[in-house]
Amino acid sequence: MSKEIDLVIHKNVEDRESRDKYILRKLKEESALDKQVGGNHYKDCTIQPVEFIAKNKIGFLEGNIIKYATRHAKKGEGKKDVEKIIHYAQLILELHYDSK
């Protein structure tokens, strides 16, 4: 091969490697946990509710109680969020403890 072709191939390999490293770095930097769609009421949390719920394998109903309890004072729909907490707690009682 000519020196010129060697340089082009080497340059392309370097570009590809640096591009791949850049993409991997960006993927590591941009976790779905780093962004929030529809507000910022969880951004100040030390650990986001979804992360706590997932890591502790908490069920849907209990997870929603945690979610609404975390945001009720921050989102502007405080009363509605507390009513949702009560509703999910009632669902747990009814569905898991046969209580109405």
Same-domain status, 62 and 14: no
- Do 15 and 50 belong together in one domain? no
Residue 81 has pLDDT above 70, yes or no: yes
pTM, two decimal places? 0.64
Range of the domain at 42: 37-100
pLDDT beyond 60 at 98? yes
pLDDT in tens, 17-61: 576 677 666 666 767 777 777 777 777 778 889 889 999 999 999
Verify that 47 and 12 share a domain, yes or no: no
- Give the pLDDT confidence score for residue 18 in this predicted structure: 72
Tell me 33's DSSP state: G
When pLDDT is cut at 50, 70 and 90, the band that residue 96 belongs to is very high
Contacts of 92-98 with C-beta under 8 Å, sequence gap 24+, read: 92/61, 92/62, 95/61
Mean pLDDT for all residues in the chain:
80
